[in-house]
């Protein structure tokens, strides 16, 4: 069935280092892959997204890559800062013409000062 | 523009009761989706409404239902509450919902505790 797997479930990095979170999806028809950041007690906030016709997208310290053949996509955060500490969720849309996000299980990222 | 709003923010109910949650989308947005967030299951899709019609439904029992009004505001209802229904219920809106790759904007959620 529809499935998005996300790894790792927890990630701890030193401030200034890079963090990478990886996701795989099961349905080759998926065409949109957003990443959300959720701070404790707050709503998920979109931080970056990528569409299936693009292989990579960057926004300042954040980048996302997509490999459609392997059906996986990754989030890269460079020069991490304490405020990057949060839970990050990847997602994929699996149905055309309707809004349905299938989320990964989330990665708790901790930036150590 | 004001963001997505949800009421109430917190709710405590007992088993067997029913509950209604409300979501007001961003002005002009016509698609509203609902998600359940729990520590064990993560974020799971409940259903999506567009133009007062349910377009898609997740794998939840019939106790979970929803509706959308002509002003795009949406409500979800859970009947015969169970302990396992304790969760954060999030709604998200997007402009048209015709294309699956539209960005969804989340509300703050309603935290439901079932005792």
pLDDT tens readout for residues B71-105: 999 999 999 999 999 999 999 999 876 666 678 89
**Dihedral pair phi/psi, residue B85, rounded to 5°:** -80, -5
C-alpha B83/C-alpha B114 separation (Å) is 5
Partner-chain residue, chosen from A43, A44, A51, that has the shortest CB–CB distance to B101: A51
The radius of gyration computed from the CA coordinates of chain A, to the nearest angstrom, equals 14
Q: Which pLDDT does position B40 carry in this prediction?
A: 82
Q: Which pLDDT does position A95 carry in this prediction?
A: 60
Model confidence at B49, pLDDT cuts 50, 70, 90, reads very high
Q: Is the predicted pLDDT of residue A27 greater than 90, yes or no? A: no
Q: Mark which residues 60-99 of B lie under 8 Å from A by CB.
A: 90, 92, 94, 97-99
For residue B17, the distance in angstroms to the closest alpha carbon of chain A comes to 26
Q: H or E segment at B35?
A: strand B31-38
For residue A25, the distance in angstroms to the closest alpha carbon of chain B comes to 15
Partner-chain residue, chosen from B42, B48, B109, that has the shortest CB–CB distance to A99: B48
Environment class of B22 (CB within 10 Å of its CB; exposed 0-12, middle 13-18, buried 19+) = middle
The radius of gyration computed from the CA coordinates of chain B, to the nearest angstrom, equals 13
Q: Which pLDDT does position B2 carry in this prediction?
A: 82
- Chain A contact for B105 (CB, 8 A cutoff): yes
Q: Which pLDDT does position A98 carry in this prediction?
A: 62
Which residues of chain B neighbour A36 with C-beta distances below 8 Å? 106
Distances (CA, A) of B27 to A30, A60, B7, B38: 28, 29, 16, 28
For residue B106, the distance in angstroms to the closest alpha carbon of chain A comes to 6
Distances (CA, A) of B16 to A7, B79, B81: 37, 7, 5
Helix extents (H) in chain B: none
Contact A32, A52 (CB under 8 A): yes
Model confidence at B43, pLDDT cuts 50, 70, 90, reads very high
User: Residue B42: closest CA among chain A residues belongs to which residue?
Assistant: A105
Which residues of chain A neighbour B109 with C-beta distances below 8 Å? 43
C-alpha A4/C-alpha A71 separation (Å) is 10
Rounded-to-5 percentages of helix, strand, coil across chain B: 5, 50, 45
Alpha-carbon A91 to chain mean position: 7
The whole-number average pLDDT for the span A24-41 is 91
pLDDT digit string, tens, across residues A71-87: 999 999 999 999 999 99
C-alpha B30/C-alpha B99 separation (Å) is 12
Which residues of chain A neighbour B56 with C-beta distances below 8 Å? 95, 98-100
Q: Is the predicted pLDDT of residue B39 greater than 70, yes or no? A: yes
Model confidence at A62, pLDDT cuts 50, 70, 90, reads very high
Residue closest to A103 by CA, chosen among B107, B63, B90 = B90
- Per DSSP, the three-state class of A37 is strand
Q: Which pLDDT does position B95 carry in this prediction?
A: 86
How does the average pLDDT of chain A come out, rounded?
Answer: 92
C-alpha A95/C-alpha A30 separation (Å) is 7
């Amino acid at each position: 069935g529809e499935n998005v797997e996300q790894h790792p479930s927890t990630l701890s990095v030193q401030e200034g280092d890079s963090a990478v979170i990886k996701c795989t999806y099961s349905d080759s028809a998926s065409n949109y892959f957003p990443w959300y950041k959720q701070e404790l007690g707050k709503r998920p906030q979109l931080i970056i997204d990528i569409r299936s016709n693009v292989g990579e997208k960057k926004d300042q310290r954040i980048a996302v890559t997509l490999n459609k053949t392997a059906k996986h996509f990754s989030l890269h955060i460079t020069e991490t800062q304490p405020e990057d500490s949060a839970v990050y969720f990847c997602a994929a849309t699996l149905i055309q013409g309707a809004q349905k996000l299938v989320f990964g299980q989330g990665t708790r990222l901790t930036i150590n000062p | 523009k004001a963001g997505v709003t949800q009421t109430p923010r917190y709710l405590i109910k007992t088993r067997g009761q029913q509950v209604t949650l409300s979501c007001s989308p961003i002005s002009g947005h016509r698609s509203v989706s609902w998600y359940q967030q729990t520590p064990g299951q993560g974020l799971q899709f409940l259903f999506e409404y567009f133009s007062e019609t349910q377009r898609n439904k997740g794998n939840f029992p019939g106790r979970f239902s929803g509706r959308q009004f002509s002003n795009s505001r949406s409500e979800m209802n859970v009947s015969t509450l169970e302990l396992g229904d304790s969760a954060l219920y999030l709604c998200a809106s997007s402009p048209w919902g015709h294309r699956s790759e539209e960005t969804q904007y989340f509300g703050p959620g309603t935290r439901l505790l079932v005792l």
